[in-house]
């Protein structure tokens, strides 16, 4: 007999509910204090109440937790030397793909297409515990709408990516998340769809989701007042110049939202060439120090211990501290860029 359902489903596998992970890998009191404090600081930066620049920096994706922790330790040392940046570490576990490819630590933690997502969530949560215990706040992209129940209690800033900004599912999810959420402009260049997403996510919603026991439920949200815009370039070119940022801020202001923006130096703003990331970064600092576009409140960098990227052919032969997704700048370049910018901003304050 021909089936009506599951025609293209090969199998179902049960997964551990979020509550179990929260009990097995709890948020320590120190990490809790950090998350609460950092969410408040980031919210104040987004609303222009804290003059520091938000700097979200870290690997394109986390595939090696040991390398990630080493990066976090380096970031902790850098953080102590800065006056004008508030650092949050990029810890991306979910990777939206244009076609196919490795979808991130949660989806395939063993890098071998075994898709052990139970272990993926466990690894991700353990990693977040380790990073926050070092005193480093974390930032991630939320892709699967179930993921926040597993990880969000460790996260201080979140993003909705260019491919999902227009998705109602993700706008609804953002409306209920407990941290500030940035929406990226579309891959085709539209800033308006991100502004529309901000408006939508600041409203109340009711939608289908899961609770901490993994049960299907209707989720009612109050809206996220700290949703904001991220410019990341597009297929049309870069959008970190004065005019692009100014025009984007005007669109935000038109909706009655505090006109601020975070700019991503990677992705289409560097043409996927990590060697051009510094060009975008330096231009943004020029605008900051010359008080052009005062709504520019944050910068994103893709940075790792070592530069570039590598193909995921044989997991056992991967080089340490090198991205397996988008290419990154190396640690020393990160330090040089950020410390010089910190000094320039300090001088510009007079």
C-alpha 82/C-alpha 80 separation (Å) is: 6
What pLDDT score does 258 carry? 98
pTM (2 decimals)?
A: 0.97
Computed over every residue of the chain, the mean pLDDT equals: 97
Residue 16 lies in a domain: no
Residue 8 lies in a domain: no
How many structural domains does the chain have?
1
Residue 69 lies in a domain: yes
DSSP 88-128: EEE-------SSSS---TTT-TTSSS---HHHHHHHHHHHH
Q: Which letter, b or e, does each residue of 123-145 get, where b requires 16 or more Cβ atoms within 10 Å of its Cβ?
A: bbbebbebbbebbbbbbbbbbbb
Q: What is the percent of the chain where pLDDT is above 70?
A: 99
pLDDT at residue 2 is higher than 90: no
| CATH code (residue 225) | 3.20.20.70
Average the pLDDT over 151-177 and give the result: 98
Residue 12 lies in a domain: no
Q: What is the pLDDT of residues 259-316, one digit of tens each?
A: 999 999 999 999 999 999 999 999 999 999 999 999 999 999 999 999 999 999 899 9
Residue 327 lies in a domain: yes
What pLDDT score does 99 carry? 64
What pLDDT score does 95 carry? 84
Domain that holds residue 271: 22-44+53-345
Residue 15 lies in a domain: no
- What SS3 state is found at 60? coil
């Amino acid at each position: 007999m021909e089936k009506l359902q599951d025609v293209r489903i090969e199998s179902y596998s049960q997964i551990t509910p979020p509550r179990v992970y929260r009990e097995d890998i709890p948020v320590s009191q120190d990490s809790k204090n950090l998350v609460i404090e950092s969410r408040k600081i980031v919210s104040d930066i987004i609303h222009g109440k804290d003059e520091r620049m938000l700097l979200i920096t870290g690997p394109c994706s986390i595939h090696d937790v040991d390398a990630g922790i080493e990066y976090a330790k380096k970031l902790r040392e850098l953080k102590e030397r800065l006056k004008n940046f508030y650092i949050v570490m990029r810890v991306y576990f979910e990777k939206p793909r244009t076609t196919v490819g490795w979808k991130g630590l949660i989806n395939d933690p063993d890098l071998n297409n075994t898709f052990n997502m139970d272990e993926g969530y466990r690894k991700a949560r353990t990693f977040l515990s380790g990073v926050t215990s070092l005193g480093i706040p974390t930032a991630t992209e939320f892709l699967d709408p179930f993921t926040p129940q597993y990880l969000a209690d460790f996260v201080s800033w979140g993003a909705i990516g260019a491919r999902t900004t227009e998705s109602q599912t993700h706008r609804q999810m953002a409306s209920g998340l407990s941290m500030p959420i940035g929406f990226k402009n579309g891959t085709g260049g539209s800033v308006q769809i991100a502004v529309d997403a901000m408006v939508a996510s600041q409203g109340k919603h009711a939608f289908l989701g899961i609770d901490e026991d993994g049960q299907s439920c209707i989720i009612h949200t109050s809206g996220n007042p700290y949703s904001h815009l991220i410019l990341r370039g597009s297929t049309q070119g870069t959008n970190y110049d004065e005019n692009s940022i100014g025009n984007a801020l005007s669109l935000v202001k038109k909706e009655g939202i505090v006109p601020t923006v975070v700019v991503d130096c990677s992705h289409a703003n560097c043409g996927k060439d990590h060697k051009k990331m510094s060009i975008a970064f330096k231009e943004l600092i020029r605008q900051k120090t010359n008080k052009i576009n005062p709504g520019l409140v944050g910068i994103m960098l893709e940075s790792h211990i070592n530069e570039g990227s590598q193909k995921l052919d044989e997991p056992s032969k991967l080089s340490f501290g090198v991205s397996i997704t988008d290419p990154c700048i190396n640690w020393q370049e990160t330090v040089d860029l950020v410390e010089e910018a910190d000094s320039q901003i300090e001088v510009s304050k007079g």
